[in-house]
Amino acid sequence: MDARSRRAPRGALALAAVAVLAAGLAGCSEDKETLASWSAKGGKEQAKVIGDDIHTLLQLVGNGDAAQCRQVLDHVKTARAFRRLPDGDAQSSWEETLNRMETAATTCVQNPAGITGGPELTEAADAQQAYGHFAIRITALTGSKS
């Protein structure tokens, strides 16, 4: 299977994770006050932007667009500056997501051909996987069935 044919399923998984995460964060109950607070004060939006950026990175396989990759790097920087999650496991998955996205997007900026496969594609796919773990953890914490 070539990189382009793998792109569509991975992109769809990234979008599905965004939807699950948004539903989970929207469903934060009062007994999860710290997670609800993180979500309400911008965490939900940060998570959505990063999920969308993973989809962007996966779409850039074979289609270099340094401007889009720079935008992803800007979003990663903003997400890093945002307050920490109140759950250690979720924070760990979040940090792994951001680290892998940063690596893939930096390579994309430095390479006019963009993400051409190999390690760069692996970093983008691993970012998606880490984001999926993040979404699963948030869903478990919030008890969301969505």
| Residues facing residue 75 across a β-bridge | none
Spatial separation of the C-alpha atoms in residues 93 and 67, rounded to whole Å: 26
pTM: 0.74
15, 110, 123 from 86: Cα distances, Å: 24, 35, 26
53 pLDDT above the threshold of 60:
yes
Task: Write down the domain spans for the chain.
Answer: 3-142
96 pLDDT above the threshold of 90:
yes
- pLDDT of 18-41, one tens digit each? 544 544 454 443 445 588 889 889
- pLDDT of 116-126, one tens digit each? 666 667 888 89
pLDDT of residue 97: 96
